[in-house]
Amino acid sequence: MKMQDLLNCKSLRGADLIVAPKSLDLPVTGINILEATDIERWGKPGMVILTSYFALQDHSEEEMQAFFNKVKQLGIVCIILKVDRLVSEVPAQFVALCKTYEIPLLRIGGTTKYEDIIVEVLTFILGIREQRLALYYKVSKIGSEMALEMLSLREILLRFKTFLGFDMTLMEKGKRAMISTNKQLAKLAVGSELELFHSEYMTFGYKRFQCRCETSSSQKYPSVVLVEFSIEDTSEMLAIHETQKHRVNENDIVVIENLIRCLQLNLLREVSGKQKLMWDKNTLVNDLLRGMINDPAEFASACAELEIDPAGSCQVLTINFAGAEEDDQITLYAMKNRLRAEIQRIYRHLVYYTTPRYDQYVLSSVKRQPGYFDAAQINALTSRVIAEERLAERIRFFGGVSDVFPVGEIAAAGTQSKLVADFLSHNNIADNIREYKNLGLFKLFLGKEKVKLSDFVPDELLRLRTDSEELYATLCAYLKNNRNLKQTAEELFLHPKTVKYRIDKITRGYLLDLENIHYVTLILTSIEIMQFQAAGAALTAPAGPRRASEPETRRSA
């Protein structure tokens, strides 16, 4: 029911229009008698209020102001005041407030019965609702049939265009281009927001805007209704292109609601299909990395499915994640998705296998287009993405990059990469991505989960570093220079006698036998282990003052 229909009611023929409505298209959704001013409990948008002024007669000016504030906020569409019972004429203050708040006001005489008005209004509204309910089920049935037909998004829009008479555009989203029933309207720019009626049938977000199309047809299509709806965790936008002669009405809303549910079903089916394809690929990559496909024909088919050249080469990157608490899981999932997208933008011919705890990436290449992972680049990228997701204080990562293998040995590459990542994780060398080829002697420790690097470092050496960074740095330089005092002194900017004095102090105070070649080898290995561990910690540690182990200025003994 519209305001025009209300004014044309037979029961209101003798009514006087005291405050005219600003629009005759205002929707009327119901009618009620004002027995108390607590309208916030029962008032609804589009409702008409009947009153004899009884509930308002003792109200002060402030209370009347508060009442009209509630009337306006609730969207009360009209007030009908009955005279010749409590009041003989509509109070001037009441008329003034109706004008101020733009609330239409009708005056009826004492002989007009409330029940006649209520019955006529509700009969009209219920009749309209019955028609719209029938329309809803009719269109819903058609929508269900479309779902069974497996129509495309464009076909659905074209089918509904025949019901609505409007051109429509499903806005661009992600990798999907705009889909429109009229290509001239596909590119549009919205202007200022326009008023749009409220309907009880609206379950999605509706807004009307001025429309500025990039074509000369903008005068023909002056406005657009944008409807926002969701698919899982993402939002979609449907544009309904209004014309000068045809604007969206309440009956159209019933059809649009069914259209959107049809689009939702179709989009959800697409999302589900993409997710199934993604998980199928995820499983296939896992099978290759675990060496579970041994049949040559099946292996070639799997490579073809993943667009991997079976005659080419491959390299595997594994990134372990640790430290995620229960509250971090959703953010961690989003972070991993973003990191994966960033890595995919850098490297072509990339497929991946993902789990809650770690991800593995397979970079394949052909002989003419070799590709290699840049461990330093991925290390910096991973740190940045984690920091931007505000997880840097909690999430640690450990990464390993394999050597380059023939695609036929992809399982060996996956194992090698995973061993490097697990080795770093086991020894808590966090926020590091290391290449297998650069591990040196640490390759000996891969796969030995029960052995920790710190177990190979003598207690005397640990005590030396704790007691004196200066003596520890001197020892490192001395052994690196094959126990040559002169070369060590030059490197540290010291006098050779100073170096000899320090080395003697080390051998006496810490019982380090630097004449025994086997013991020296152990000490060198231990120093390398300690430097390897320190390098990992340094990547995330804040910058501090110069350490005692840094080069000193030259001085004499």
Calculate the average pLDDT of the chain: 82
**CATH number for the segment(s) 150-272:** 3.30.450
Q: How far apart are CA 22 and CA 8, in angstroms?
A: 16
Q: Which of the four pLDDT bands, split at 50, 70 and 90, describes residue 411? A: very high
Q: Please return the burial class of 41, using the count of CB atoms within 10 Å of its CB with bins 0-12, 13-18 and 19+.
A: exposed
The pLDDT of residue 543 is: 40
Q: What is the mean pLDDT of residues 95-106?
A: 92
The pLDDT of residue 273 is: 55
In this structure, the chain runs to a length of 557
The CATH 3.30.70.270 portion of the chain extends over 293-451
Give 266-308 pLDDT, tens digit per residue. Answer: 777 766 655 565 567 888 888 899 888 888 888 888 888 888 8
The CATH 3.40.1390.20 portion of the chain extends over 3-123
Q: Which of the four pLDDT bands, split at 50, 70 and 90, describes residue 382? A: very high
Q: Which of the four pLDDT bands, split at 50, 70 and 90, describes residue 215? A: low
Q: What pTM did the predictor assign?
A: 0.46
Q: Which of 261-275, 407-421, 430-444, 521-535 has the lowest mean pLDDT?
A: 261-275
For residue 550, is pLDDT > 70?
Answer: no
The pLDDT of residue 174 is: 63
The pLDDT of residue 234 is: 73
For residue 381, is pLDDT > 90?
Answer: yes
Q: Which of the four pLDDT bands, split at 50, 70 and 90, describes residue 409? A: very high
**CATH number for the segment(s) 293-451:** 3.30.70.270
Q: Which residues contact 454 (CB under 8 A, 6 or more apart)?
A: 427, 529, 533
Whole-number Cα distances in Å, 22 to 101, 105, 471: 11, 12, 90
SS3 for 499? helix
The pLDDT of residue 539 is: 46
The CATH 1.10.10.2840 portion of the chain extends over 454-538
The pLDDT of residue 78 is: 92
For residue 549, is pLDDT > 50?
Answer: no
CA angle 222, 227, 231 (to 5 degrees): 150
Helix/strand/coil (H/E/C) assignment for every residue in 239-308: EEEECCCCCCCHHHHHHHHHHHHHHHHHHHHHHHHHHHHHHHHHHHHHHHHCCCCCCHHHHHHHHHHCCC
Of these ranges, 6-20, 357-371, 507-521, 522-536, the one predicted with the greatest mean pLDDT is 6-20
The pLDDT of residue 57 is: 87
The pLDDT of residue 135 is: 67
Residue 66, token pair as written in the block:
């508060």
CATH architecture of 454-538: Orthogonal Bundle (1.10)
Q: Answer for the pair 50, 117: CB distance below 8 angstroms, yes or no.
A: yes
For residue 42, is pLDDT > 80?
Answer: yes
The pLDDT of residue 326 is: 67
Q: Which of 197-211, 324-338, 387-401, 444-458 has the lowest mean pLDDT?
A: 444-458
The third-level CATH classification (topology) of the domain covering 3-123 is 3.40.1390
The pLDDT of residue 217 is: 55
Q: Which of the four pLDDT bands, split at 50, 70 and 90, describes residue 45? A: confident
Percent of the chain residues topping a pLDDT of 70? 85
The pLDDT of residue 99 is: 92
Q: What is the mean pLDDT of residues 508-514?
A: 82
The pLDDT of residue 149 is: 62
Q: Which residues pair with 545 in a beta bridge?
A: none
Residue 186, token pair as written in the block:
């596909």
Give 471-503 pLDDT, tens digit per residue. Answer: 888 888 888 888 888 898 888 898 989 988 888
Q: Answer for the pair 354, 284: CB distance below 8 angstroms, yes or no.
A: no
Give 140-195 pLDDT, tens digit per residue. Answer: 776 666 666 667 788 888 888 887 888 989 887 766 678 888 888 877 778 889 98
